[in-house]
Structure 1
Amino acid sequence: MRLPKLPAIGIGAPRLTGANLRTPLRTLGPGSVSSLLKIALDVAYVLLALITGVLLLLWVASIFIPLDNINVTVTDGDNGRQMPLTRPLLLFGVGAMTAYFGGFLMILRGLRKIFRTLTLGDPFQPDNVRRLRQIGLILAVVTGGVWLAQGLVAARLAPGVMEPQGISDLLTPVFSILVVFVLAEVFREGARLRRESELTI
């Protein structure tokens, strides 16, 4: 005995094609990865500006606050050395931290402007070349300042407790600085090609 055939109800499984499986990940323009990174940079910039402002106020206050019978412990791992907190030492320490955070604040300021052009979908602008060069220069100054400050602390303030940074400790920062300057040249070449294409249209 054969069972009767049921009529088709017209519902079929959807066919998955390559176009359906691809989810485009935009890197430039509104709603892209660049716009998300721009938001993260904005938040980091505000936080770093607040930290730098607080440190600057603390540096000004350290000129007037009394420092009687206050000691600090300088340590590098297991070893430590206690020494009186003098006003020059306090001004040097707070000033160095303020300069450190201020340098990275300027770097974030340049990055925010660069990512703003990425969000607009127009990265190859001459201003971005200048911004990248400024970022590389600031990064070089901050790296050199940290290296000199740590060497000064190790030699003058805590001899035998802290070790100064060696040349090998500069390899990674120097490599990062060179990468930034190479990116600046890439952007400069992109801006030149864009200008030539605009002139030929």
Structure 2
Amino acid sequence: MRLPILLTSSTRFARIPGFALRGPRTLGPGSVSSVLKIALDVAFVLLMLITAILLLAFVAAIFVPLSDNLMVTDRNSGVAQPLTRALLLFGIGAFTAWFGGFLLILRNLRMIFRSLTLGDPFQPENVSRLRQIGLTLATVTGGVWFWQAIVSAKLARGVMDSQGPADLLTPIFSVLVVFVLAEVFREGARLRRESELTI
């Protein structure tokens, strides 16, 4: 008696009892999404602490007297200039705004991954959360590019280099990907709503 030959396709194996090839679950409790949600929660708390410390440092930098011996040096060219209060406030303020922006991004990501953990990714709220992430990312990227150009020309000439247009390619691509994902989630939410109305 000849035995049937098993095909090596994973889809064929999935239909044969005892040969189910399953990867890790991506949605629901105990899934990869729930693990990532925990990691995002930890990162959110750490980022909140860093942002709070930077805010306190920014306030302190307004009142703490500066020594005339403090210098800022470019590692590449060795050019040095005195550390002024305006330059110090800009540096701390820029880092505070940068971390604060990514704190907003993480807050929205946590909410998105919470819906993934519940097994319900196509919520209408996730569309607006993804759009907020895209807008925040675009604002942070544009702000860094603009203010770095101003500071390199006015406050730290020769010490800080301005970013070129090529430095914006990756952030712009990331922003576009986020907005495309928002549209995918919007379409998914629309299809789910239509199927619920049909049922």
**In which range does the TM-score fall when normalised by the shorter chain?**
0.7 to 0.9
After superposition, the C-alpha distances for 1:144-179 in whole angstroms (9 at most, x for unaligned) are: 011112212321233334331111111110000000
CA distance in structure 1 between the aligned counterparts of 2:78 and 2:136, rounded to whole angstroms: 33
**One of 121, 124, 147 as aligned partner of 1:123:** 121
Question: The residue matched to 1:73 in structure 2 has which SS?
Answer: strand
Alignment of 1:1-201 (within 5 A): 19-20=18-19, 22-75=21-74, 77-201=75-199
Aligned identity (percent) is 69
Instruction: Tell me the residue number matched to 2:13.
Output: none
Question: The residue matched to 1:80 in structure 2 has which SS?
Answer: coil
Q: Quote how far apart the aligned CAs of 1:20 are.
A: 4.8
Q: Which protein is bigger by CA-based radius of gyration?
A: 1
Which deviates the most, 57-66 or 107-116?
57-66
Instruction: Point out where structure 1 has 5 or more consecutive residues left out of the alignment.
Output: 1-16
Scaled by the length of structure 2, the TM-score of the pair is 0.87
**Quick one: which amino acid aligns to residue 122 of structure 2?**
F
Runs of 4+ residues over 4 Å off in structure 1: none
Q: Report if aligned partners of 2:81, 2:159 keep a CA contact under 8 Å in 1.
A: no
Instruction: Point out where structure 2 has 5 or more consecutive residues left out of the alignment.
Output: 1-15
Scaled by the length of structure 1, the TM-score of the pair is 0.86
CA distance in structure 1 between the aligned counterparts of 2:142 and 2:128, rounded to whole angstroms: 21
Q: Report if aligned partners of 2:29, 2:117 keep a CA contact under 8 Å in 1.
A: yes
CA distance in structure 2 between the aligned counterparts of 1:132 and 1:163, rounded to whole angstroms: 32
